[in-house]
Structure 1
Amino acid sequence: MNGVITPADTLGTRLTGLRGFYRAGYRSVLAYRADLLFGVIGFVIQTVLAVAVWRVLYDGHDEVAGVASSTAVAYAVLAGCIQSVVMPWQFSSLPQRVFRGQIGVDMMRPRSLISQNLAQAAGTMVGRLPIGVAGLAVGLALGGVQAPRSLLDLFASAVSILLGIANIMTINLLVSMIAFWTLETGGVMILYRFASAFLSGALIPLWFMPEWLQPIIGRLPFQAQIYAPLSIWFGTRHGGELIGTLALQLGWVLALFVLLQLVWRRAVHRVVVLGG
């Protein structure tokens, strides 16, 4: 009123400005519907194989490393669902825009480059939801998915998943910023994807890691992406340990975002050196 801009108006304006980048990410997935369809089919097959393989591995054993067969199968299915949505091969359009020289236009926009890319990444993840939902449906049909043991575990795991997604989005953008120093980022992206899949527990749960390696991986940011949310989902974290897990996830998100800001400041100077 009276021409005064309130904080709510400012926030609303910023969110409206970022909506276009979110839609761009979402539509970039739907634009290639055949690719999305094959992604759904491929992940359904992967889910069926994951359930079959883990059940064969547990054949004749009720538990391995203290983990029941049903838990291991459910973990494999849920980890695959999360990974299929939030860890695509294409992390960000930033490297392509740097390569094509479009980054100069992005830097002149009223919204920061970081917020532009995070909004676009959020849209991409939402666009890929059908892949994860299809895998989850198959896992449920095969009896390979367990529900959380309590409402507290369900709520805490939901919060943990959101923190894990924030962690993934931030690290993905950090890795993408390598494009400011080298135009060839394919090798780095592939190395990061496989390292992240292993260290996050997407491929092998940390339960089955060597005892000397578990504490090391448990302190890295990658375990906060998939292993931490699913460990809460299956009720293996209680009381102070549960709070500590969520606090560690939040701490990594904040630390990574600060690091992202620092890297971006260096990248800006790099663009100036290269002439924009």
Structure 2
Amino acid sequence: MMKKYLTFTVKAFQRTLTYRFELWMELFINVLFMLVYVYLWKALYTGRTSVEGYDLNRILTYIVVSQTLLTFTFTLRIARIIEEKVRTGEVVTDLMKPIDFQLMTLATAAGTSSHTALFNMLPKFLLFYGAFGLSLPPSLLTVFLFIMSVVLGYVILFSIEFIIGIFAFWLVEIRGLYAFVIWGLAMLFSGYFLPLEFYPDFLAKVAAVLPFRAIIYFPTAIYTGQLIGESLVTALLIQLTWVAVLVGIGRLAYRAAFRKLVIQGG
């Protein structure tokens, strides 16, 4: 059964391989941006040994890992892809196929993201690890839990984007909603800009009730050792809960959209 979805993953991966120039340009720009960010933090730590439990090495490791995960997660554009399919009518063909539209969309996204992981994330991390002597996880178990957390965070962001994309069945366009949720709320509360420990109390409390910290902050904090023991287990349970909730909402939204399409006769 899963073989047909793997086909979408492989095709998406192969399709992305054709954009070699765009790949190198994106990597080059990402590296430049990360260099600026790293040297900014080095300057901010001048004369300081630690801030909110982060010494210079740990904060640089956090910044590089979070920036790397940003490339992996926040470049999905699933919502905009679904919106375009709705606008052109291509979504009708997808929905009429004997496959699950939600799983097909996830499988396709996984193919593109696998390419990003191999040709953007990994080279970028190795470059900065070698240049700045970043920390590595203390054990193989931590590596495993980090990867698990990254996957859960990925599914959470995918599910949020999928739900926003399904709104295209009812809204003229979703650009404003997409920008507000993904480039506004998600970027602010995901821990991308800086660790959530640095946030004012009221913003930290808001972040605690939203799913966005589970996308970047949790996996990055696991990698850096900021989350250990009970707090690590709690973080993974929170991620699993958000996955279940958001995947479920996405499925309900998808079924409602399908019924709307059937009632209106396509």
Superposed pair shares fold, TM > 0.5: yes
Distance in 2 between the 1:142 and 1:180 partners? Answer: 48
1:22 is the counterpart of 2:12: no
Matched-pair contact (CA < 8 Å) for 1:181–1:270:
no
Residue in structure 1 matching 2:29, options 22, 38, 42? 42
Q: What's the counterpart of residue 254 of structure 2?
A: 264
> 1:182: Cα distance to partner?
1.9
Report SS of the residue matched to 2:201: coil
> 1:122: Cα distance to partner?
0.5
Q: What's the counterpart of residue 236 of structure 2?
A: 246
CA-based RMSD of the aligned residues comes to: 1.8
CA deviation string 1:178-226 (max 9, x = no partner): 2111242223222222221211111221011012321331232111111
CA deviation string 1:206-254 (max 9, x = no partner): 0110123213312321111110111111222232222111111111101
What TM-score do you get using the length of structure 1 for normalisation? 0.89
CA deviation string 1:12-67 (max 9, x = no partner): xx222112321332234223222111111111111211211110111111112232
1:146 is the counterpart of 2:130: no
Q: What's the counterpart of residue 76 of structure 1?
A: 63
Distance in 1 between the 2:182 and 2:144 partners? Answer: 28
Matched-pair contact (CA < 8 Å) for 1:48–1:138:
no
Aligned residue identity for 2:90: Q
Aligned residue identity for 2:239: Q
Report SS of the residue matched to 1:201: coil
Q: What's the counterpart of residue 98 of structure 2?
A: 110
**Runs of at least 5 residues in structure 1 that lack an aligned partner in the other structure:** 1-13
Report SS of the residue matched to 1:213: helix
Structure 1 pair 150–215 and aligned structure 2 pair: CA distance change class (3 A): farther
Sequence identity of aligned pairs in percent?
27
- More displaced, 139-148 or 108-117? 139-148
Q: Which has the larger radius of gyration?
A: 1
Aligned residue identity for 1:123: G
Distance in 1 between the 2:139 and 2:232 partners? Answer: 14
Matched-pair contact (CA < 8 Å) for 1:54–1:73:
yes
Distance in 1 between the 2:34 and 2:151 partners? Answer: 23
Q: What's the counterpart of residue 152 of structure 2?
A: 163
Structure 1 pair 21–89 and aligned structure 2 pair: CA distance change class (3 A): closer
Report SS of the residue matched to 2:13: helix
Matched-pair contact (CA < 8 Å) for 1:85–1:132:
yes
Q: What's the counterpart of residue 226 of structure 2?
A: 236
1:98 is the counterpart of 2:86: yes
Structure 1 pair 89–119 and aligned structure 2 pair: CA distance change class (3 A): closer
What TM-score do you get using the length of structure 2 for normalisation? 0.92
Q: What's the counterpart of residue 10 of structure 1?
A: none
Report SS of the residue matched to 1:128: helix
Report SS of the residue matched to 2:191: coil
Aligned residue identity for 2:86: V
Matched-pair contact (CA < 8 Å) for 1:51–1:144:
no
CA deviation string 1:109-154 (max 9, x = no partner): 1111111101111111012221212321221122152111333322
1:174 is the counterpart of 2:163: yes
Q: Map residues 198-237 of structure 1 onto 2, 5 A cutoff.
A: 198-237=188-227
Distance in 1 between the 2:140 and 2:209 partners? Answer: 27
**Runs of at least 5 residues in structure 2 that lack an aligned partner in the other structure:** none
